[in-house]
Amino acid sequence: MALDIDAPAATVPLRPTTETPLARGILIAVALAFLAFFLFLPLVIVFVEAFRRGAGVFLAALAEPETLAAIRLTLLVAAISVPCNLVFGVAAAWAIAKFEFKGKAFLTTLIDLPFSVSPVIAGLVYVLLFGAGSALGPWLKSHGIEILFAVPGIVLATIFVTFPFVARELIPLMQEQGTGDEEAAIALGASGWQTFWYVTLPNIKWGLLYGVLLCNARAMGEFGAVSVVSGHVRGLTNTMPLQVEILYNEYNFVAAFAVASLLALLALVTLVLKTILEMRYGHAIAGAAAPH
Amino acid sequence: MSLVLAAPRWRWRRPSVLPGFGLTLGFALVYLSLIVLIPLAGVVWRSASLGWPQFWAIATDERTVQALKISFGASLVAASVNVVFGVIVAWVLVRYRFPGRRIVDAAVDLPFALPTAVAGIALTAIYAPNGWIGAPLVALGFKVAFTPVGIVIALVFIGLPFVVRTVQPVMEEIDREVEEVAATLGARRWQTISRVLLPGLAPSILTGFALAFARAVGEYGSVIFIAGNIPYVSEIAPLLIVIRLEEYDYPAATAIAAVMLAISFVMLLVINLVQAWSRRRFGYGA
Amino acid sequence: MANRNTFLFTAALATMVQFGGIGMALADTTILNVSYDPTRELYRAFNAAFAEKWKADTGETVTIRTSHGGSGAQARAVIDGLEADVVSLALEADIDAIAQRTGKIPPDWRGRLANNSAPYSSTIVFLVRKGNPKGIKDWGDLVKDGVEVITPNPKTSGGARWNFLAAWAYAREAFGGDEAKVQAFVTELFRHVPVLDTGARGSTTTFVQRGLGDVLLAWENEAFLSLEELGPDAFEIVVPSISIKAEPPVALVDGNVDAKGTRKVAEAYLDYLYSDVGQRLAAKHFYRPSKPEAADPEDLKRFPEVKLVTIDDFGGWKEVQPRFFGDGGIFDQVYKPRR
């Protein structure tokens, strides 16, 4: 910044749209230092703790039946909730991005709302709705339908928490792409489905996948909301994050961090997948609008 | 019928040749109602059963107000920190090429994926007085974990990706010609950035700020590990909700929840309106 | 994309098959014991012993599931419909709440089992760092300058309520019942608390792992367990001059066992807690057995002599809960800013 040049532009060797090497170096250093303190250290500590007593103990901790049950439950919950939010996200993005209508900002806000609802409340709302003391509770019980403290409740809480992820990812992307391609397809006689399937979907597929990956990561990692509706029955309604808490509370720190490291690993795999996608199809993901 | 392109006269929906509006909007609304609106309405209804005077008494109780202040205050600080550093991170990731850039880029999403409890435990382990960073800080006279600063640290962690991920795509779209024009007209680099680039980025920065803020206000799992949880000092509003639940005081719990919901909703709505306005005006935004 | 979906589908299928498997096991008998945090180790051992005994007696296989968490949160889960066959919580008040709000437990549940439905008891002791560098011997030492005390939040932790009452009992004795001075002492004590964790185990972790504080107020069983698990050479237990007899009660949830048809096995399960085997296991896991004669004398030797007050000295939980820990109660006043 101090090196900025006042002299006539003709003598300036720098490109006018970049910073001096010094400024660039400082910015990179600041960004990396910030991320190191806030992102990498927590990640490192998870793995350091997990392997504190060696790989054997690490693997043994993961092979515990209750831990395996937690892993299976987490996979099941994600396998149900992510597709639900995927379908919703696509539908909502289509309506919001491809059409102009009144109340759009309001609707977008409602979709964002779950981001801002405390996970504690997210769990609580389902307890108020389906709990034994609610209006629905006795009816559900007399019909033998279990929602709270069973898989459906955990799925609902997870869907709530991960609700906006796919839609949030798709809406700006589809807004940016406009409606030209679809209008052309319709004009050429394609049906609505065909237009969506052959024109829109190829345009948004990477953004869609990205949204799904994030949604999935968050779904598997959710703790607060699930904790309220799970009932914590060992080996039955504990998801991986709950299992982490339980192990931690049993002073079994290695096992707790082993399960946590699995979740972190999952996050990393997600991120690696995303990175590979970006490297191979970078221009497609960035969208046609990116000028460089 | 005449072709009026410039001034579309439509009541609530601009006519379009594209199909599926009714289907997709209908589905989105039904799903939204079932998963989000009806359950949340339950909270509002439950707290409404209190009656206004009682609701008001809980909402303005000194302890509640203090907890809300701490939650919103810490979130404000955390979101501001995230705006400053998030924009720098996004800028570095978009504009510069350096070894490990892709790894760094990927790692930004980590807070989405790491369970909040694990994040809380890990951050506490690092910033506690005997932790890797906590120990040197204590030697210098700073206490981080178990103080309000600890709350901010946890909230910065969970909010970071929201800022980076909303600002980043918009930054990628910036037309470099604008910068070149500014430079040719004699603007220094920092003038170009502060007068030309940042105003264009403002709407997306604002969105990132709002999302990070909104997420931080409700956060519970990671905060309780690193905050001291001392009433009036480091007790956050979600913890107060949990405390009310422990007392089987559902109305009070839902009343606090309703207050938080209302504040967050109004904030998000304002932000989205600003966004929609800026999109019409500037033509881009996240 | 296709691969991913296939993977998820397979995962889902595998999980369903697995749950199907559990469903088959349920066909025998399953009972659910909803308990609080520090009983994990005890019930792991006890459940195995009971399942074996039930098999030997009746030939039936019984699966005992357990759920652990904060005592209040666990009670709330049962109130909201978690189908517990038996509850074993930290406080009588929590079981009372279930009885009042659901009617699934009769109001006179305390009288149904021996010893006020408390098969084992515990008390509150101090855990200090090795060598006791701050020289902490009794409650009065906790408010000395420079002493930091770790205890969980009485609002969210059952154990912390016992801590609070034990401190109160000491002060009541020390100040000859002068209520204002007692409250001032307890208020001063909480000024020495830098962190209020939400649960007993969280406090132990803060004290042991984070190295915070000079003394941890803990359940006796938790103190012994953390010595065993986390380092006998790093900490030691200090027994104060006076403490409180903490009786974590157990109860049958009639409404649930009758609906599920598990009354017989659930009753046998609770009775077994009072048997010689149950009592021996309790003592082994650092709970003071209600029938000491049944326990291993070696285990009993570990429990120090201490003068104990009981909850009845405070007028019982029905009195204590609202007065001390209710909204606006004595604990809330401790933290009320003095402005």
Helix (H), strand (E), coil (C) string for B193-224: HHHHHHHHHHHHHHHHHHHHHHHHHHCCCCHH
Using an 8 Å CB-CB cutoff, list chain C residues near B245.
72-73, 76
Q: How confident is the model at residue C129 (pLDDT cuts 50, 70, 90)?
A: very high
pLDDT at A235 over 90: no
Task: Judge whether residue A24 has pLDDT over 90.
Answer: no
Average pLDDT over residues B4-19: 69
CA distance C330 to chain A (A): 27
Express as a percent the part of chain B with pLDDT over 90: 21
| Amino acid C47: pLDDT | 95
Q: Which has the minimum average pLDDT: A58-67, A141-150, C4-13, C267-276?
A: C4-13
Examine the pLDDT at A92 and tell me if it is beyond 90. Answer: yes
* C1: pLDDT strictly greater than 60: no
> Which of A10-24, A137-151, C11-25, C264-278: highest mean pLDDT?
C264-278
The least confident of A80-84, B106-110, C44-48, C195-199 is B106-110
Residue in chain B nearest C334 by alpha carbon: B231
**Does residue C242 sit in the same domain as residue C254?**
no
Pairing mode, strands C242-246 and C120-129: antiparallel
A53 touches chain C (CB under 8 A): no
CB distance A31–B92 less than 8 Å? yes
pLDDT at position A249, please?
82
**Range with the lowest mean pLDDT among A67-81, B254-268, B270-284, C134-148?**
B270-284
d(CA C171, CA C185): 7
- Let me know whether C254 and C113 are in one domain: yes
pLDDT, tens digit, 9 for 90 and up, residues A206-222: 788 878 888 888 898 88
pLDDT of residue B1: 42
Window C:194-223, CB contacts with B under 8 Å:
194-198, 202, 209-212
> Could you say which of C258, C274, C290 is where a domain stops?
C274
Of B46, B147, B229, B240, which to mutate for an interface test with C (greatest number of C Cβ within 10 Å)? B229
Which pLDDT value is given to residue A15?
Answer: 54
pLDDT in tens, B206-254: 888 888 998 898 888 889 888 888 888 889 999 898 888 877 888 888 8
Domain locations in chain A?
38-119+150-286
pLDDT at C139 exceeding the cut of 90: yes
pLDDT band at B84 (very low <50, low <70, confident <90, very high): very high
Count of A-C CB contacts under 8 Å:
86
pLDDT at C59 over 70: yes
Residue C58: pLDDT above 70? yes
Percent pLDDT > 90 in chain C is 65
Residue C106: predicted pLDDT: 95
Residue whose tokens read 């996200």: A89
Residue C299 domain flag: no
CATH 1.10.3720.10 residue spans of chain B: 52-282
Percent of chain A scoring above 90 in pLDDT: 29
Is B232 part of the contact surface with chain A (CB cutoff 8 Å)?
no
Looking at beta carbons, which residues of chain C come within 8 Å of A144? none
Residue C23 lies in a domain: no
Instruction: Name the residue among C11, C80, C209 with its Cβ closest to that of A79.
Output: C11
Mean pLDDT, to the nearest integer, of C194-216?
89
Supply the pLDDT for residue A282.
58
Interface size between B and C, measured as CB pairs under 8 A? 66
pLDDT band, residue C200 (cuts 50/70/90): confident
Q: Report helix, strand or coil for B49.
A: coil
CA dist C62 and C52 (Å) reads 9
**Partner-chain contact A95 B91, CB within 8 Å:** no
Q: Is 50 exceeded by the pLDDT of residue A177? A: yes
Query: C133 and chain B: CB distance < 8 Å anywhere?
Result: no
Is domain B52-282 annotated with CATH 1.10.569.10?
Answer: no
CATH of A38-119+150-286, one of 3.50.50.60, 1.10.3720.10, 3.20.20.140, 3.30.465.10: 1.10.3720.10
Looking at residue A273, its pLDDT comes to 77
Region C24-50 average pLDDT: 84
User: B68 contacts in A (CB within 8 Å)?
Assistant: none
Q: Is the CB of A205 inside 8 Å of chain C's CB atoms?
A: yes
**Does the structure show a pLDDT above 60 at C275?**
yes
Pair A104, A95: CB distance under 8 Å: no
Q: Does B230 sit within 8 Å of C193, measured CB to CB?
A: yes
Provide the mean pLDDT of chain A: 83
**Interchain pair A79, C32: CB under 8 A:** no
**What's the domain count of chain C?**
2
pLDDT of C276 reads: 95
C198 vs B242: CB contact, 8 Å cut-off?
yes
- Portion 267-296 of C in contact with A at CB < 8 A: none
Distance from CA of A63 to the nearest CA of C (A): 16
B73 touches chain A (CB under 8 A): no
Residues C264 and C169 in one domain: no
**Whole-model pTM?**
0.84
Residues C209 and C317 placed together within one structural domain of the fold: yes
Checking if the pLDDT of A14 tops 90, the result is: no
pLDDT of residue B49: 79
ipTM over 0.85: no
Q: Are residues C71 and C217 in the same domain?
A: no
Q: Are residues C175 and C235 in the same domain?
A: yes
Q: B272 vs A241, which has greater pLDDT?
A: A241
Q: How far apart are CA C326 and CA C319, in angstroms?
A: 10
Please determine, for residue A12, whether its predicted confidence score (pLDDT) is greater than 60.
no
Tokens 């960004």 locate to: A31
Instruction: Look over chain C and give the mean of its residue pLDDT values, rounded to a whole number.
Output: 88
For residue C47, the enclosing domain spans: 29-118+248-274
C40 contacts in A (CB within 8 Å)? 249-250
Residues of A in contact with C82 (CB under 8 A): 148-149, 231, 233
pLDDT tens, A33-49?
Answer: 999 888 888 888 989 98
Of A162-166, A222-226, B71-75, B242-246, the range with the lowest mean pLDDT is B242-246
Please answer yes or no on whether A232 and C69 come within 8 Å at the CB atom: yes
Taking 70 as the threshold, does the pLDDT of residue B128 lie above it? yes
C115 CB neighbour count, 10 Å cutoff: 15
Which chain B residues are closer than 8 Å to C156 by Cβ?
A: 242-243, 246
User: pLDDT value at position C7?
Assistant: 46
Share of chain C above pLDDT 70, in %: 91
As a whole number of angstroms, the distance between CA A58 and CA C45 comes to 24
pLDDT in tens, C64-97: 999 998 888 899 899 988 999 999 999 998 999 9
Instruction: Write out pLDDT tens, residues C281-305.
Output: 999 999 999 999 999 899 999 999 9
**If pLDDT is split at 50, 70 and 90, which confidence band does A2 have?**
very low
pLDDT at C27 > cutoff 70: no
The two three-digit tokens of residue B23, written as one number: 């289907």
Whether residue C9 has pLDDT greater than 60: no
Determine contact: C73 vs chain B, CB below 8 A: yes
Q: Which of A68, A251, A274, A277 to probe by mutation at the C interface, max C CB count within 10 Å?
A: A251
Which residues 167-226 of B are in CB contact (within 8 Å) with A? Answer: 169, 172-173, 175-176, 179-180, 182-184, 188-190, 192, 211, 214-215, 217-221
Say if C305 is an interface residue toward chain A (CB within 8 Å).
Answer: no
Q: Which residue of chain C is at minimal alpha-carbon distance from A249? A: C201
Give CA–CA dist B253/B251, Å, rounded. 5
Dump the DSSP string for A57-71: HHHHHHT-HHHHHHH
Q: Is the pLDDT of residue C5 over 70?
A: no
Instruction: Tell me if chain A has a CB within 8 Å of the CB of B282.
Output: no
Q: Is residue C338 pLDDT above 80, yes or no?
A: no
pLDDT in tens, B145-189: 888 999 999 999 999 988 998 888 778 777 778 888 888 888 887
B199-217 per-position pLDDT tens digit: 878 878 888 888 899 889 8
With respect to residue C293, please indicate whether it lies within any of the assigned structural domains: no
Quote the pLDDT of residue C273.
96
CB–CB of B21 and A99 under 8 A? Answer: yes
Top residue of B248, B249, B250 to mutate, by most chain C CBs within 10 Å, is B248
Query: With contacts defined as CB-CB under 8 Å, which chain C residues touch B124?
Result: 210
Taking 80 as the threshold, does the pLDDT of residue C207 lie above it? yes
CB burial class (10 A; 0-12, 13-18, 19+) of residue B233? middle
C76 and C203, same domain (yes or no): no
Would residue C233 count as lying in a domain?
yes
Instruction: Tell me which chain B residues have a C-beta less than 8 angstroms from the C-beta of C211.
Output: 128-130
Say whether pLDDT at B126 is over 80: yes
pLDDT at C174 over 80: yes
pLDDT band for position A8 (cuts 50, 70, 90): very low
CATH for C47? 3.40.190.10
| Residue-level pLDDT at A17 | 65
Q: Which residue in B has a C-alpha nearest to residue C72's C-alpha?
A: B246
B128:C210 CB<8 A: yes
